[in-house]
Structure 1
Amino acid sequence: MWRGVVATLVSAAGFGLIPVFASYAYGTGMSVTTLLMLRFAIAAVVFLAWLGLRGRFGRPTGRQWATLALLGGMYATQSLLYFTAVQRIAPALAALLLYLYPGLVSVLTAVVDRARPGWAVVGPILVSLAGLVLVVGRLDAELDLPGVLTAVGAAVAYACYIVLGSRASAELSPTVTSAYLSMFATGAFALLGLALGSLDLGFATAGWGWAAAVAVVSTVLAIALFFVGATALGPVRASILSMLEAVVAVVASWLLLGGTLSWSQLAGGVVVLAGALWGILASSPPQDRLTTASDAPAGRRGSRSARSRS
């Protein structure tokens, strides 16, 4: 059990460092699309190399390729919005706003299933929205509204990605899925960068190190360790522990980037996380809350623990 706890917490720390690594990368003159293309290209190489050594590439069917392409596009959209928000507003604020997604997952699930929204669905989203009001505060000239909207958009995109991904085929392993999603995301950002003329490798040499940090620490290792934790603890417990991500993002941004948040924004962040916790517990079936990793079927554990972030 402790192995799963440690793996999940280290995974959350890796995801939480994304805003810091991205901010340092932007400081070298790197654009958002360039950073994201390098992130997913490096991650795809690492994932594919690992699968090659183990001989487990998998053989997706035509339907699975189509699903992977769609998920890859949604994955890329969420990442683009989140990394843009990190560039425009305080990284800690962007990380807190991203945690609107668990409440949104509850609402979207109810809509897709055509179920009448109950308090377990409405409650988390209302709590999260109340936290959002505190985080944003007064709408004045000092607030970068587009930055806030891109962060909220990232939460919406991630919620859509989760709802669609949970209904997609679970026949491919999480590692295979992550490898192919990274490939599709690399292609998407390469095309987007070329179309916008924003793909530029003329940044400072240090930028390669920060791009590698985002790819290896905050993508490959973070995803792999989350799988370890979710297998050992179950998806719900792992998701709850993963909320350390927001704490790491806030603390690391404060220590390393000198960013500051007001007391009202910090209070709003706590409320957003409370809504996220409620949404995680409310959106999980009762059996998932009670089932241990040793009791759960392997296939079900794999399908519910697959996670690709930011």
Structure 2
Amino acid sequence: MRQLKGVLLAMISSSTFGLIPLFAIPALKEGVGLDSLLFYRFAISAVVVGIYLLVRRENFRVSLKELGTLFVLGAAYASTALFLTASYLYIPSGVATTIHFLYPVLVTVIMIAFFKDKISLPVIVATTLAILGVYLLSSGEGQGTISFKGLVMVLSTVATYAIYIVGVNKSCIRDMEGLKMTFYMLLVCAVIFWGNILVKGQGLDMMPSLNVAVYIFLLALLATLVSDLTLILAIQHVGSTTAAILGCMEPLTAVSMGVLFLGERFGVGQVCGVGVVLVAVFIVILSNHPGHFPVKRLIPAFLLNRRG
């Protein structure tokens, strides 16, 4: 059950993370700057988690080593959020999404090279299918202009997000309580973006309307708090590689929300992409690789006992 819970948590995480365009794009169109939007996103989430932990009288104490690790991983997560969003200004979002989703490959490489992780054939197949599915989901985008600056930005997110996922699993904070770790990650991100605003001297953009405030709060609570908490818990349950592969639900959700609410097109390529992504998820769920629950648990006992 622990493995099944981890798989479900990873799917919830990537699905809610895929809601970011649904909430962020309207706020940006209403004039909220990127730095301000990202600060609101993480600050609101951190405050909500902090209040909850205070009500529960949780211990906020961390060692100096843990604090340093939290800052490094929080900076990696903040960099991912900043550069991925900024890359959309320079290259088509479909291209950026496809390149960003190379991070499961890097996670797998890091786990093999530095932590001697054993990777089974089903995991390799699922990773390949997940990347293919993301490519197909993004195939509806126009070719656009590929800017070197945008390319560097989105490639950097492959490294920063992989470092974040592996770090949560393999660093000194791996056994930290999930909500406590989430609070510190969100707080570090908020501090970084506040510092970015101060350095640029732009000032914090106010929320121009009630609708924008609603979008920002939903971005902070659903696409950030829920997504980050469930990702941390998923990594603790099933490990970095599985959590990374199941991130393929993110572009599936983003494409679905774009079609339903943002007037984006949904063609044959996207239909095929949905199918391939679901196959990849199914392979991960049914894999007998350590860290997953076995296929036999899904098959009723009376069927296993049948002969011929």
Q: Same fold (TM over 0.5)?
A: yes
Instruction: Work out whether 1:188 is the aligned partner of 2:192.
Output: yes
**What is the CA distance between 1:98 and its match in structure 2?**
3.5
Whole-Å Cα distance in 1 between the matches of residues 171 and 58 of structure 2? 20
CA contact (8 A) 1:23 1:86 kept: no
- Equivalent residue number for residue 255 of structure 1: 260
CA contact (8 A) 2:137 2:252 kept: no
> Which residues of structure 2 form unaligned runs of 5+?
296-308
Whole-Å Cα distance in 2 between the matches of residues 108 and 77 of structure 1? 19
Instruction: Work out whether 1:43 is the aligned partner of 2:45.
Output: yes
**What is the CA distance between 1:97 and its match in structure 2?**
4.3
- Equivalent residue number for residue 155 of structure 1: 158
Whole-Å Cα distance in 2 between the matches of residues 46 and 167 of structure 1? 27
Alpha carbons of 1:96 and 1:21: their partners in 2 closer, same or farther (altered >3 Å)?
farther
Q: Which of 59, 63, 66 is the matching residue for 1:64?
A: 66
Report 1:287-306 matches (<5 A): 287-290=290-293
Provide, for residues 185-240 of structure 1, a one-character-per-residue CA deviation record: whole Å limited to 9, x for no partner. 11100111222234431452233222111111112233445677788999887776
Whole-Å Cα distance in 1 between the matches of residues 291 and 260 of structure 2? 37
Alpha carbons of 1:161 and 1:224: their partners in 2 closer, same or farther (altered >3 Å)?
closer
Whole-Å Cα distance in 2 between the matches of residues 143 and 30 of structure 1? 25
Whole-Å Cα distance in 2 between the matches of residues 127 and 6 of structure 1? 19
Whole-Å Cα distance in 2 between the matches of residues 286 and 135 of structure 1? 27
Instruction: Work out whether 1:212 is the aligned partner of 2:217.
Output: yes
SS of the residue corresponding to residue 43 of structure 2 reads helix
- Equivalent residue number for residue 200 of structure 1: 204
Alpha carbons of 1:278 and 1:103: their partners in 2 closer, same or farther (altered >3 Å)?
farther
Amino acid corresponding to residue 257 of structure 2 in structure 1: A
CA contact (8 A) 2:13 2:231 kept: yes
SS of the residue corresponding to residue 48 of structure 1 reads helix
Whole-Å Cα distance in 1 between the matches of residues 158 and 23 of structure 2? 20
Q: Percent identity?
A: 25
> Which residues of structure 1 form unaligned runs of 5+?
293-310
SS of the residue corresponding to residue 292 of structure 2 reads helix
Whole-Å Cα distance in 2 between the matches of residues 35 and 55 of structure 1? 30
Whole-Å Cα distance in 2 between the matches of residues 281 and 156 of structure 1? 28
**What is the CA distance between 1:177 and its match in structure 2?**
0.7
Alpha carbons of 1:234 and 1:115: their partners in 2 closer, same or farther (altered >3 Å)?
closer
- Equivalent residue number for residue 111 of structure 1: 113
Q: TM-score, normalised by structure 2?
A: 0.72
Alpha carbons of 1:273 and 1:72: their partners in 2 closer, same or farther (altered >3 Å)?
farther
Q: Which of 165, 175, 181 is the matching residue for 2:179?
A: 175
**What is the CA distance between 1:126 and its match in structure 2?**
6.6
Segment drifting more, 230-239 vs 106-115? 230-239
Q: TM-score, normalised by structure 1?
A: 0.72
Alpha carbons of 1:74 and 1:147: their partners in 2 closer, same or farther (altered >3 Å)?
same
Whole-Å Cα distance in 1 between the matches of residues 143 and 249 of structure 2? 32
Amino acid corresponding to residue 226 of structure 2 in structure 1: L
- Equivalent residue number for residue 168 of structure 2: 165
CA contact (8 A) 1:103 1:275 kept: no
SS of the residue corresponding to residue 261 of structure 2 reads helix
Provide, for residues 53-86 of structure 1, a one-character-per-residue CA deviation record: whole Å limited to 9, x for no partner. 1111332111111111111111110111222235
CA contact (8 A) 2:103 2:159 kept: yes
SS of the residue corresponding to residue 74 of structure 1 reads helix
Aligned residues: 288
Q: Which protein has the larger Cα radius of gyration, Structure 1 or Structure 2?
A: 2
Amino acid corresponding to residue 262 of structure 2 in structure 1: L
SS of the residue corresponding to residue 288 of structure 1 reads coil
CA contact (8 A) 1:99 1:276 kept: no
